[in-house]
Chains A and B, each alone.
Chain A
Amino acid sequence: DAMVIQNPRYQVTQFGKPVTLSCSQTLNHNVMYWYQQKSSQAPKLLFHYYDKDFNNEADTPDNFQSRRPNTSFCFLDIRSPGLGDAAMYLCATSFGGAGGSSYNEQFFGPGTRLTVL
């Protein structure tokens, strides 16, 4: 089945120790998103790629970076995790067309729960 895969499902890191979360997809979608979701809150968009074009949200801290080496993979790098970065990180994909694709379903992975000690 076509799907969005996130690894690892659970990640524990130490305060200030860089961490990378990965997302892969078999849907061949050209748009990939990273969301941060804290307990009992809505997912908050950090950034997204439209093809190779990176789109950062204005309020995403510089501590969060992303890479998309090819269509299938996207990485979230947290350079110096703080206690406030403990959250569920969700990757999503969609098929994007010219002029925006907000009408298209976003397909979500199961998430990576990040714990910062």
Chain B
Amino acid sequence: AQSVTQPDIHITVSEGASLELRCNYSYGATPYLFWYVQSPGQGLQLLLKYFSGDTLVQGIKGFEAEFKRSQSSFNLRKPSVHWSDAAEYFCAVGPYNTDKLIFGTGTRLQVFP
């Protein structure tokens, strides 16, 4: 069965520090992969997505993610975190031939000044 694992429930970083949020997926083929961000009390916003091609994907707000097939991972990175990046981050898989997304349980990012 398809699944998404985000091993880190909560991460705290200092403003200006680099960030990596982990995401591992279980899927039989190359999936469609997404990172969404949710600010408190808000809906989800797409940061970036991967379908095929270049395994390093650039997104909005200075985020990037790298698809590693050998590790079944799609980790999200940002070189320098801003206080406004504090939010919940969800990794998601879009199984082929469906209209749905399978979300991970999310990672809550806290940023200290």
Q: Of A4, A31, A42, which one neighbours B43 at CB under 8 angstroms?
A: A4
Contact residues in B for A90 (Cβ distance below 8 Å): 43-44
Interface size class of A (residues with CB under 8 A): 20 to 34
Given A103-B32, A105-B49: A48 and B43 within 8 A (CB)? no
Residue on B with the closest CB to A4? B43
Cβ-defined contact, B105 with A110, below 8 A = no
Cβ-defined contact, B99 with A101, below 8 A = yes
Cβ-defined contact, B106 with A100, below 8 A = no
Complex alpha-carbon distance, A37 and B104, angstroms? 12
The 0/1 profile, CB within 8 Å of A marked 1, for residues 90-109 of chain B is 10001111111101111010
Q: Is A45 an interface residue (CB 8 A)?
A: yes
The binding surface of chain A is classed by DSSP as: loop
For B45, B51, B101, which residue has the most chain A Cβ atoms within 10 angstroms? B101
Cβ-defined contact, A102 with B94, below 8 A = yes
* A contact residues vs B (CB 8 Å cutoff): 4, 31, 40-43, 45, 48, 50, 55, 90, 92, 94, 96, 99-103, 105-111, 113
* B contact residues vs A (CB 8 Å cutoff): 32, 34, 36, 41-46, 49, 51, 90, 94-101, 103-106, 108
